[in-house]
Amino acid sequence: MSTTEEIALDQKHFDRAWDARERTRVNLEHAHEAAGGNQKVAVAVKKDAARMLEQLGDSDEAVAFGRIDPVADDPLYVGRHAITDENKDMLVVGWQAPAAAVFYKANIKDPCGLERVRKFSTELNAITLFEDTVFNELRERVDDLTQRFNQPVDDVLLRDLEASRDGEMRDIVQTIHHSQYDLISRPLEQLLVIQGGPGTGKSAVALHRVSWLLFDQRDTLKPSDFLVIGPSRTFTAYIQKVLPSLGNDGVVHGDLASLGPLASSDRAEPDHLARLKGEARMARLLGRGLMGRIRVPPEALVIGRGADAVTFEPTELGKQLTQVKRRAKTYRQGREGLRDWVTATANDRLNDQRNRLARARVSIPPSQIDGIVERMWPSLTAASFLQDLFGSQQRLVDAAGADFTAAEVKDLYRPASERIASEQWTASDVALLDEAESQLGGRTTKHAHVVVDEAQDLSPMQLRSIRRRSTSGSFTIVGDVAQSTGPWARDSWDDIVAALEMSHEAHLEELEFGYRVPREHFELAARLLPTAAPGLRAPSVIRSAPAAPELIRVDDEDLVGRAIEVAQGYAGRGLSVGIISATQFRDHVVDELQRRDVRFTDARQGALGRSINVLTAEESKGLEFDATVVVQPAGIVDGTKVGERRLYIALTRTTGFMSLVMSLPVPALGVHGEALPESGPLVLEGPDDSQAETGEETFSEDSAPSSTALAPAASAKAKGGRVVALMADDLAAEIRSGLLPELWPAFIEALAERLQKDLN
């Protein structure tokens, strides 16, 4: 059967499924009308119908993205959502269903009883082409395949990766690799930590795991039982439409800046202070600070006047406060306990006095009770407590105990704003506010499963905040320790696991293959790993870039202007662009864009635009762009290990093109000496033969180690040879996986003929 006939046959099924889905949509949209005049029933039916409509997908969405052909059974189509006909016969199975698992799991070594797996490319619901994996044919030709080719990347995935970014993370369920699916379909009852380098798809795995668990646990869990936490508002905006596209509306999304009773502002603070506030001992400081607000008055307290006056002596109050504090689990519970005792005691004493005077029984007004309680056990909010604590050196000294030095207490002190509403909270304050709210007795909404993305930078206080949002310790934690920066940069997951492990066992898994960042760009970034993250295994990167990384040499005064011009060039081609700079250049980039009247999006505003976006390396963590312009890499490195990690992040945010605009050398990348190389493509050169034999590496002032030296000014022949070798590798892999060996000579001859025509 020809390709055209195959497509026509599959398209017939696609059309039938589309008709069935749209009939269901119409029926659901009008289902409430069948309730007649019963308004209550109509509302309930409409609500149920809306929920079911979410499971259908959009009208312009293709009904399926794949097909599995069992050896001895009918083909089964796989899509984002299940579709049945009017007789409830299954036309398309949803990707989370057990029957669809083999679509992801089948491979050359274990085809899972399948003859083939077919992946479709579509425009709306029209099939444009398909890719087949026929396992019997592949099994005959795998002996000479490397590991890379045993983990093939098909054209469907490449087209998805090469599609333009639009400021949102798109649903890529049709391209989930079988190693990723194994993590997605893990049981709920575990603490799953996924380590993944740039472009390994860890965010997609985490989100699709939520969707899979919602399907697998559909009888017991609902979307609001799941919480997805990202590092920033911008990141949350980037990923939050993935789950709705899979029919999972209602999952709770949040970010670290808002994970508490109040969100953070843009108030900055030194790294050493942010680290201090993130330490676990801060929880004890807050606890002592709260207990310090409870005090025995130095004099007797009196309620009422004259014959109706009731007196409480300090000694009596002190004993009662001690008892209440011992019994109370939270600050507010203790305050209520004290209030109850004061109310009962005062009313009993007052009425005893009135009985002796033959007067009617009365109750003391609540306002008078509140007044006396407030003097001993003041009513507090998390914000008012933290403002008062940080704004008083004496309160800080009293709360510090032996855990903090005088210098640390001095660092924590800051003058309070005149009003609580005008207080500016830092990112590290948010976890302290959440801790204070917990100790005060505030209720934290708990979830059956919590996902934390970019988790490698969490402080102990942030981990406490996340832990209290879990009912049992069911987590999916994803990140990359090579991208761990900021005050709590770390080299392993050990302390994070220790902080979050509750009733479920922890499992640390690693994503081995990088699909999204092109090889040439990653190889440049990977030069930083030996010092930035020693001992960490870099992912195996599979796809090639449309162009090598570009070095643009400029003078200092032209740095920002040239970067903007390069970004405009990319944007003019319809690409999404990230201008990623050292922090000290960020405001200069924004000012110059405004001066030139160039439209752009500032990532600090909580979202990404479709064209030019301005970010620091730290802010770009977890995000992707079609093209990136990295401004002054030397400024990002800043001579530190954490700085090298920030540059590693900046160099791995592109799925296509990257330009480095610089006026200073970057020794960490192999660009040495005072004189920069000429502008042009950055080409990675391997060791020469003599060095390969001896294993020796040579160093000079103006060159990197010869085994990984950059040669941006290399000859055209050297550049061409490298490009030819890379293209030959990719083409050979494609031929091996898609053409029988006996046809290779004929293919090579046909290819040579076609290329010769272009030369003539």
> How does pLDDT run across 429-480, given as a tens digit for each residue?
999 999 999 999 999 999 999 999 999 999 999 999 999 999 999 999 999 9
Residue range 99-121: mean pLDDT, rounded: 89
For residue 729, pLDDT over 60 is answered with no
**568 — phi, psi (to 5°)?**
-65, -35
pLDDT tens digits, one per residue of 137-147: 766 555 444 44
Three state DSSP letters for 236-271: HHHHCCHHHHCCCCCCEEEEHHHCCCCCCCCCCCCH
**177 — phi, psi (to 5°)?**
-85, 155
pLDDT of residue 718: 39
Cβ pair 602, 649 in contact under 8 A = no
For residue 686, pLDDT over 80 is answered with no
Distances (CA, A) of 193 to 42, 204, 393, 672: 45, 14, 41, 38
pTM equals: 0.80
Rounded CA-CA distance 437/335 in Å is 15
Q: What is the DSSP string of 588-622?
A: HHHHHHHHTT---EEGGGS---SSEEEEETTTTTT
pLDDT tens digits, one per residue of 505-529: 999 999 988 888 999 999 999 999 9
Residue range 396-415: mean pLDDT, rounded: 96
Strand partners, 452: 229, 477
> Residues near 759 by Cβ (< 8 Å), separated by ≥ 6?
none
pLDDT tens digits, one per residue of 55-77: 787 888 899 999 999 998 899 99
Rounded CA-CA distance 146/235 in Å is 36
Rounded CA-CA distance 760/749 in Å is 17
pLDDT of residue 650: 97
pLDDT of residue 139: 61
For residue 694, pLDDT over 50 is answered with no
Rounded CA-CA distance 12/34 in Å is 33
Give the strand pairing for 191-196 and 475-479. Answer: parallel
Crossing angle for the helix pair 382-390 and 281-292, to the nearest 10 degrees: 100
For residue 706, pLDDT over 60 is answered with no
Distances (CA, A) of 501 to 67, 79, 225, 278, 438: 40, 35, 19, 19, 19
Strand partners, 630: 580, 660
> Residues near 46 by Cβ (< 8 Å), separated by ≥ 6?
31, 32
Give the strand pairing for 90-94 and 83-84. Answer: antiparallel
Three state DSSP letters for 33-93: HHHCCCHHHHHHHHHHHHHHHHCCCCCCCCCCCEEEEECCCCCEEEECCCEECCCCCEEEE
Residue range 362-381: mean pLDDT, rounded: 91
Please give the structure tokens belonging to residue 325: 């504090």
For residue 18, pLDDT over 80 is answered with yes
Please give the structure tokens belonging to residue 582: 């050292």
Residue range 233-241: mean pLDDT, rounded: 88
Distance of CA 216 to the CA centre of its chain: 23
For the chain, the C-alpha Rg in angstroms (whole number) is 32
